[in-house]
Structure formats: C-alpha cells, structure tokens
Amino acid sequence: MVMRRTTASKGISGHTVRTTDSWSEPAGRRKPLTAPRSADDSYRSLIDGALHGIYRSSVTGKFLTVNPAMVRMLGYGSAQELLGVDMAHDVYADAGVRAQLIKQYCGAERFAGVEVQWKRKDGTPIAVHLSGRAVRNTLGEVECFEMVAEDVTARSRLEAQLRQAQKMEAVGQLTAGIAHDLNNILTVASVNTDFVLSLLPPELRQLRGDLEELQTAVRRGTAMIKKLLAFSRRDVLQLGALDLGQLISETTSMLRRIVPETVAVELASQESVVVQADPTAVEQILLNLATNARDAMPNGGVLRIAIQCTVLDEGYHGTHPWVLPGRYACMTVSDTGTGMDAATRERVFEPFFTTKPRGAGSGLGMAMIYGLVKQHGGLVHVYSEPGQGTTVKIYFPLATHSEAAGVHPEAARVLPRGTETILVAEDEASIRRATRRMLEQYGYTVLLAADGEEALELFRAHEGEIDLVITDLVMPKLGGRQVYDTLRREEKSVPVVFTSGYSERDVQGSVHVDPDVPFVHKPWTVAEFVVRIRQVLDGCRRPSPSPLGP
C-alpha cells in the first residue's frame, strides 16, 4: 500500500509549498482502501436492496419505517409521503381487515403467508402476502409490527385462472356423463315425435300443436346440454353451409313460445344469406338472446331480428386483429327492454356473471354465445344503455359461392329413401325400436343387435347382405370401436357410422376412434339421421362396370 507524507517548505517566491512523499508497504500488510461499514450501514443496505416490501408499523396504523420496494409497491412518490398515510383506510382495501388481523395474530410469535387485499395510491387493487412478528416491550405489550410484504397479484390471478379451468373441467366431466343418458332419452322423444307428426293429417291442428310443443321441449333440452358441453369445450361444432335467413325464419315459431304474448317478435329481413356455421349452435345463440330479451321486457316490448351482409376490411382488422378481413353476415337481435349500464356491459361475457336473482340464471348464456361465435371465426358486439334496450350484433363468415350453391330450401327437400340392409347395434332398447321403426319407414331393411358381440354374430350370419353398420360407441361386452376394428381386421369393407350420447370430443379422447369414420351425435332428428345415412351409402357405392369392358 502506498503511504503519503506531506511537508511544508518555502518556495522560490517565498510562498509555502506542500510536498508529499510516497512509499509502499509490503503486500501482506496492505489495508483496505475504505473503512469497513458499520453494522447499521450493512443492515440498511440489505433492507434498501430487498425486492419485497419491508416496513415497521405502529399498533394505531402508521408506517414507522419503509424500504424503497414498499414505496414502489404502493405507488407513492417517496418514503416520506408513504409515512404520512393511514394504513387501515389508505392501504387496506377493507378498513376493518387490519383490526381483525391484529386481533387474530397479535398473540402469535411469528406468522407467515397471510394474504390480504391492499390498494395502491391510485386505487389499483393488489394481493399481498404478509409475514412478520409483533415487537414487544419488557412488559409483553406490543410496541410495533415488523413485516415483509410480497406482491402476489400476478400469482393470485394465475391461481384464479387455474381454479376456473379446474372448475370448468369438472363441469365438463360431470356434464359428459349426464349428457350420455339424457341424450339417449331425448333421442327417443325426438324420433317418436317426428314419426307421429309425419302420420297426423293437417286438420288435427290441436294435436299437432301439442306434438310441436313436445318437439320444442326436446330441442330446448338438447340446447341446454350442448350449452354446457360447448362452454366446457367438450363439444365440436359441425360447420357447413347454412341458410341463415331460413334458419331464423324456422326458429321464430319456437321463439314465440319462449317469450310472452306481450312481446312481439319481428323479422326485419328474411333474405337468403348463406354462412359457414353450425345450425344447432346458431339456434342456441338465438334461444339465449331471446331468453335474455324476454327477461329484460317484463312489461312487454319488441324483439327484432335482422340479417344483412357486410364487409370487414383491413382497417377493421387493424383495430380488431383477431378478425380476418372478408365478407360477413351480420345477425342483429335487439329488444326494447331495460338495457344495461356500463359496469354490466363490461362483464356481460364473464362466465357465471348474471344480474338475475339467485337461482334464476346460470350466468353462462352470454359467455356461451361468445365462445360459440369465436369458434365460428366471427365476432359479437353488444350495444346497450339503461332504459334504451339492448342490441347484439353477431358476425358470421359468409360461405363461398360453391358452398352456397349446395344449399337448398328445407321446405323443398324431400327426405331420401333407400332399399339397403342396415345393421344397428345399440344397447338402449327404446332407441333400437325407434331407429328400426324410422328406418323401415324410409324403405330400409333393419337388423338389430343389443351389443357389440351380437352385432358381429349378425354380421357374420348375414355377410354379403349388410350394406351399412350403425353402432353406438359405448356398449356392454363390445363397444362400437371394437366392432369397427374387428371388421377391418377381417377385411370387411362395409361402411360404419358411429353414434353416441357423449360429445365427439369426449369420444375422440377416450375411445380413440378414426376421425374419418362418420359420427352422428345424439339426440338426432329423423331428417338429419336419414340424410346422413344416405350420404354415407351413396359415398361408398361402387360404380357399375361398363358393358364395353374395362
């Protein structure tokens, strides 16, 4: 270490000049350049550099000491400013919580991980974990509290999202099990109602009206199940070309049964607009919006439904990047009801949020609508003001010209018939009977099996005669997947159609079926089932050999 000595002498000018002599000590005897910090300085450095808030507070609720991290956490400009606040009213979201915590933990020597809700200077809520101890005097009285505060807002948000995901997974698993049994029941009701309606003469209006009410009840029960399956993401949409105007027109009669007579249902437009959509999902959306409108108009009003084509351009994409530019059909559903304030509008798509009395609403309606529209690649806007009613605009992508060309009005469509032999494997006796009756009505020969083993025995006994196998996926002894695998191992090329009361996503996840095998979800209607069967049979038909040779 270099040592310096300063001496004074007279310079040439007579002024005193100070000079310094230097020398070095042996390396082993060198001393630090700076003196060691005191214990207080070291302690202060540790506290000031901590990432979590550290503070000392009085029993009455005043900060006595705070570190820089504490100042930053609460959003104040300086430690001096923070020392002047009242903890109970300016820091705690609920002023009474601090007193409760003191009462609860004052007798404990130390405590850790107590989560509280604080607020920053600007009012922003934060979640905080508190750990610390009460400092006591010689008499055992609490003089102050020494605490460490950790901001866990982000962690709490992630935990809340995880709990929500787990909740929805539980809802999905529960619903999937219930849906299987309910969908079997609804299938029987739907098929038999359709069958009886087809036999009734038009003049029996009252009886036909009763059966149509039953049809409506079946469809609403189906919608309720699909609502939960869709919300828990356990249902798969079947997108295809759909005449939106025709569907709205057909659904209007059902909507008029939902709303009271004091609410008028008006169709502002019935033009033919073909979109790429799932018809069942669109029906669910309309049913939910009509139900909400009904509840918003307890004294009557008007429910209007309109559709029009529009273009969402690149400029719109710039402000809504999740929406692809292109041509859309806008379905507008509006009511003249009570409307919503800004706070309600902000939460309108929030799961389980409802303004209805306890037990009167699930809070899933608008959340389900949002989820379904997003799965369609569309978007939804809600416009509402208190006392001015509510307007919901839903945008569906338009179908291409080639897709739209294949859509024909339902009224003009005659359900196809056939003469083929079909093997039906179904463990529910009521569904077996209804399916055979329905297929025989349309010209088919039907063989019935109660499980997979019986289905294979029948197939082998009638090999060469059976043109199609329809099998439920979940059956005793052998399920539909095992039947399909056995037929393929034996090199049987007969087409197979799977059906199940479970959602297609649950089926794909648990049974691992070939996604190319046609799947018909229960409950199915006579029309969709007959059409699907005809499509499969026609698609597998081999062309006849040419009389002129190959």
- Mean pLDDT of the chain, nearest integer: 79
Q: Say which residues have a Cβ less than 8 Å from residue 370's Cβ, sequence separation at least 6.
A: 349, 380
Q: Say which residues have a Cβ less than 8 Å from residue 141's Cβ, sequence separation at least 6.
A: none
User: In the chain, what are the domain boundaries?
Assistant: 41-151, 239-413, 415-540
The pLDDT value given to residue 482? 92
Question: Which string of DSSP letters, residue by residue, matches 394-453?
Answer: EEEEBPPHHHHHT---GGGPPPP----EEEEE-S-HHHHHHHHHHHHHTT-EEEEESSHH
pLDDT tens for each residue of 218-267: 877 776 676 556 555 555 567 788 888 888 888 887 788 778 889 888 88
Please state, in angstroms and as integers, the Cα–Cα distance from residue 548 to each residue in 10, 543, 544, 545, following that order. Answer: 134, 14, 12, 8
Give the H/E segment covering residue 457: helix 452-461
Please state, in angstroms and as integers, the Cα–Cα distance from residue 112 to each residue in 96, 151, 156, 356, following that order. Answer: 20, 14, 17, 40
Residue 77 confidence class, pLDDT cut points 50, 70, 90: very high
Please state, in angstroms and as integers, the Cα–Cα distance from residue 294 to each residue in 115, 220, 227, 344, following that order. Answer: 43, 16, 19, 18
Domains 239-413 and 415-540 are alike in CATH topology: no
The pLDDT value given to residue 368? 77
Q: 141 pLDDT exceeds 90?
A: no
pTM over 0.75: no
Token pair in block for residue 31: 């001393």
Amino acid letter, residue 20: T
- CATH 3.20.20.70 fits domain 415-540: no
Residue indicated by tokens 């359709």 = 194
**CATH code linked to domain 41-151:** 3.30.450.20
Q: Which of 489, 491, 474, 484 is nearest to 517 (CA)?
A: 484
**Cα-only R_g, the chain:** 37
Distance in angstroms (rounded) separating the CA atoms of residues 540 and 546: 18
Residue 2 confidence class, pLDDT cut points 50, 70, 90: very low
Q: Which of 233, 247, 327 is nearest to 287 (CA)?
A: 247
Span 348-371, mean pLDDT?
68
Distance in angstroms (rounded) separating the CA atoms of residues 449 and 269: 48
Token pair in block for residue 188: 């029987």
Distance in angstroms (rounded) separating the CA atoms of residues 235 and 227: 9
Three-state secondary structure call for residue 210 = helix
Looking at domain 239-413, which of 3.40.1360.10, 1.10.3720.10, 3.40.50.150, 3.30.565.10 is its CATH number?
3.30.565.10
The pLDDT value given to residue 448? 94
Say which range, 269-278, 283-292, 457-466, 541-550, has the weakest mean pLDDT.
541-550
Query: Of all residues in the chain, what percent carry a pLDDT higher than 70?
Result: 75
